[in-house]
């Protein structure tokens, strides 16, 4: 497989990073000391506070277990959940003991303005992947229109860290390397796959992350077989790029979102999976409304309170959109054979129980060195 090297500009137009989600989502939560204005990155602050609570002799076993659960799931919590944790454990400023502000988002990109008018926004690149993606057409032409091929880039990246650290990560300017592989969606077989089929790997699936579970050791072959075939794992049509919740804002990883079953929507984890599915789907079944949307909407309304839904922006947006149709309009939507949410999930993604048993829904995350 051909591996091409590129050297792209470090200054990136806003439109590129808007499309990739960085403008809206590339942020950490922080809090401020209400008296002296000192800023703290919230997940680091909460983790340190919970570890301190665990180390105290008077802490009960039940509280220690609660702390362990929260630490494992910390990367999945949003603004409201972290605010609730602050209240539950009476978190104060670790330096002064003063009260802290409510959580607020802080975008990690360095913004600048391009051109003499200052009307065009830009950012110093937070990672090197976007330069590869926007040059895909040129790379494909350079490779004589043939797939698969890979593209690599080494260069500086910039992140306006809340709490910078000395070392290789969590600094404001650093050198990073990325390799992206592009595969023909109509021909995904690889004649050398058997060479790595039995290689042991530790994978932290997107489903496990949302459920607060740990990473699992498996082989590449078993991971691939768990989603039916090698082609379905690497298929362009069922892959998306997203900031991994396991290593927040450190890398871009990909996961097979269309194999993330949302089950029967009986737990908050399953609701989170539905929210993840709706990130780039207008409707449950894709980009056209169907009877499936009515079945899933009824279950969400029945099982989850408004507060749970409000914490999941994509589910909330989807509900508002589906509710905007009249009964007469939704009656005309194409019907499916499914009559329950579990049946809808199985119809769209296959048997959820089998998928769970085979450790489906892996999120592949590159190591950072």
pLDDT at residue 169, as a whole number:
66
Nearest Cα to Cα of residue 97 among 35, 29, 30? 35
Residue 189 pLDDT class (50, 70, 90 cuts): confident
Least confident interval from 165-169, 239-243, 266-270: 239-243
Token reading at 316: 């909330």
Residue 126 has pLDDT above 50, yes or no: yes
Residue in this structure with the two tokens 């999945």, named with its chain if needed: 76
Asked if pLDDT for residue 198 goes beyond 50, the answer is yes
pLDDT of residue 360: 35
Is pLDDT larger for residue 219 or for residue 353?
219
pLDDT at site 265: 80
pLDDT at 211: 65
What pTM value is reported for the model?
0.52
Q: What is the mean pLDDT of residues 169-188?
A: 81
* 114-118, 235-239, 298-302: least confident range: 235-239
pLDDT at 92: 92
Q: With 80 as the cut, is the pLDDT of residue 61 above it?
A: yes
Mean pLDDT in the chain?
Answer: 77
∠ at Cα 288 (287, 291), nearest 5°?
130
Residue pair 350/228 in contact by the 8 Å Cβ criterion: yes
Q: What percent of the chain has pLDDT over 70?
A: 78
Question: Binning pLDDT at 50, 70 and 90, where does residue 308 land?
Answer: low
Tell me what pLDDT residue 50 has: 92
Per-residue pLDDT band for 190 (boundaries 50, 70, 90) equals confident
Taking residues 163-167, report their average pLDDT: 67
Give φ, ψ of 88 to 5 degrees. Answer: -65, -40
Q: Which of 9-13, 46-50, 355-359 comes out lowest in average pLDDT? A: 355-359
The CA-atom distances, in angstroms, between 221 and each of 227, 228, 358 are 10, 11, 12
Token readout for 152 is 């690599």
- 158 or 225, greater pLDDT: 158
Who has greater pLDDT, 247 or 283?
283
| H/E segment holding residue 352 | helix 352-357
CA geometry: angle 177, 245, 112, nearest 5 deg: 55
pLDDT at site 349: 64
**Rounded mean pLDDT of 107-134?**
86
Residue 1, C-beta contacts closer than 8 angstroms, at least 6 positions apart? 148, 149, 150, 181
Q: How much is the pLDDT for 153? A: 92
The reported pLDDT for the residue numbered 144 is: 87
More confident residue, 355 or 70: 70
The whole-number average pLDDT for the span 290-305 is 86
62: Cβ contacts below 8 Å, ≥ 6 apart: none
Reading the block at residue 194, the tokens are: 């058997």
- What tens digit of pLDDT does each residue of 313-350 get? 888 888 888 988 888 888 888 887 777 777 777 777 65
Q: How confident is the model at residue 242 (pLDDT cuts 50, 70, 90)?
A: very low
């Amino acid at each position: 497989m051909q591996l091409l090297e590129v050297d792209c500009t470090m200054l990136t137009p806003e439109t590129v990073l808007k499309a990739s989600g960085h403008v809206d989502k590339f942020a950490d939560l922080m809090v401020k000391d209400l008296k002296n204005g000192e800023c703290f990155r919230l997940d680091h602050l909460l983790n340190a506070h919970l570890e301190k609570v665990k180390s105290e002799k008077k802490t009960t076993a039940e509280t220690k277990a609660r702390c362990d659960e929260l630490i494992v799931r910390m990367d999945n919590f949003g603004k409201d959940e972290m605010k609730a944790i602050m209240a539950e454990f009476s978190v104060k400023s670790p330096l002064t003991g003063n009260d802290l502000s409510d959580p607020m988002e802080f975008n990690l990109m360095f913004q600048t303005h391009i051109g003499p008018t200052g009307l065009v926004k830009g950012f110093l690149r937070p990672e090197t992947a976007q330069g590869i993606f926007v040059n895909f057409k040129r790379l494909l032409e350079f490779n004589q229109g043939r797939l698969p091929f890979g593209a690599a880039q080494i260069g500086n990246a910039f992140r306006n860290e809340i709490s910078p650290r000395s070392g290789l990560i969590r600094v404001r300017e650093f050198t990073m390397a990325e390799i992206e592989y592009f595969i023909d969606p109509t021909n995904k077989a690889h004649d050398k796959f058997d060479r790595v089929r039995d290689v042991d790997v530790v994978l932290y699936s997107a489903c496990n992350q949302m459920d607060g579970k740990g990473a699992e050791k498996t082989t590449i072959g078993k991971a691939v077989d768990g989603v039916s075939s090698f082609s379905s794992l690497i298929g362009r049509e069922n892959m998306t790029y997203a900031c991994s919740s396991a290593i927040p804002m450190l890398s871009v990883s990909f996961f097979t979102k269309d194999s993330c079953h949302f089950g029967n929507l009986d737990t908050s984890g399953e609701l989170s999976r539905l929210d993840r599915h709706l990130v780039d789907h207008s409707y449950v079944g894709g980009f056209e409304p169907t009877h499936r949307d009515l079945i899933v909407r009824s279950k969400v309304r029945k099982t989850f309170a408004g507060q749970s839904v409000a914490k999941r922006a994509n589910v909330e947006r989807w509900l508002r959109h589906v509710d905007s149709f009249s009964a007469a309009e939704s009656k005309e939507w194409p019907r499916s054979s499914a009559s329950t949410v579990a049946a809808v999930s199985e119809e769209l993604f296959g048997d959820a129980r089998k998928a769970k048993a085979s450790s489906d829904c892996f999120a592949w995350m590159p190591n950072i060195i």
